[in-house]
Amino acid sequence: MTDPYASAPPLLAARDLRFARNDEPVFGPLDFAVDAGEALLIRGDNGAGKTTLLRVLAGLLRPEAGRIEIDGHGTDAPARTRALAYLGHLPALKADLGALENLEFLCGLQGRRRGQSSDAAMRIVGLDGYQDALARQLSAGQKKRLSLARIWLSPAPVWLLDEPYANLDLDGIELVNRMVQAHLREGGAALVTTHGAYAAPPVRTRELILERPA
């Protein structure tokens, strides 16, 4: 993929990235770059390695080979944590804590964007009035919205969103698209995995299609 913005290094880039589980190749070698203000849509069938790719980028899995660059610098997993916010399949919510308490904890752990309050983020994701509801009482879609509030509050410029549309209603899908759009407008980047059934956010988008290794 040629880089039209060659003057500035891409926000996130993978070079010759490969991952194998028990010597079975899962994906790669992959080369891609995501600039500030861009979204990378990662498509592929079930089992193609979309989630694995995001987990490798996040630093939860160690790549077999290759480099992951942030702002043009090669990084290891701990160095990437400041730049990345990860939305995975597991909500990381404690069932016995309230929605706001969960959000406050995760922000305390991962940092918070300046000038952002948890209450405002709860309003944005449409959970106003659920501040004190225990996480166990939230529906799957509401848990997803709470996770989106965490991503919104994260100071990281690169969002890794693994199936962000899953469990969400139409309004929620629209919310994800608006959040991604606003984030990109401010100079962030987003990597979004999807199996293609949902509308992509209306932003400058690159596409990466993963196929199951033969």
Partner 1 sequence: MTAPLPQHSPRMSVAGNAPSLWQAARALLARDLRLLWRRRGDALQPALFALIVVVLFALALGNDPALQARVAAGVLWVAALLAGLLALDTLFRGDAEDGSLEQWMLAPVPLAWLVAVRTFMHWATTAWPLLLATPFLAELMHLPRAQLPVLMTGLALGTPLLSLIGAVVAALTVGMRRSGILVGLLALPLYVPVLVFGAGSVAASAQGLDPVGALLLLAAGLIVATVLAPLTAAAAIRIAVN
State the minimum distance, in angstroms, from the CB of residue 57 to partner 1.
Answer: 11
Q: Which residues bind partner 1 (CB under 8 A)?
A: 36, 55, 58-61, 77-78, 81-82, 84-86, 88-97, 101, 104-115, 120, 123-126, 128, 155, 157, 171, 174-175, 178-179, 182-183, 186-188
47: left (phi over 0), alpha (psi -120 to 50) or beta: left
Q: Which is nearer to partner 1, 186 or 207 (CB)?
A: 186
Q: Which is nearer to partner 1, 55 or 195 (CB)?
A: 55
Contact of 73 with 11, CB cutoff 8 Å? no
163: its two tokens: 């199936």
State the minimum distance, in angstroms, from the CB of residue 4 to partner 1.
Answer: 19
Q: Which is nearer to partner 1, 153 or 208 (CB)?
A: 153
**Counting Cβ atoms within 10 Å, is residue 77 exposed (0-12), middle (13-18) or buried (19+)?**
middle
State the minimum distance, in angstroms, from the CB of residue 117 to partner 1.
Answer: 11
**Counting Cβ atoms within 10 Å, is residue 121 exposed (0-12), middle (13-18) or buried (19+)?**
buried
State the minimum distance, in angstroms, from the CB of residue 82 to partner 1.
Answer: 5
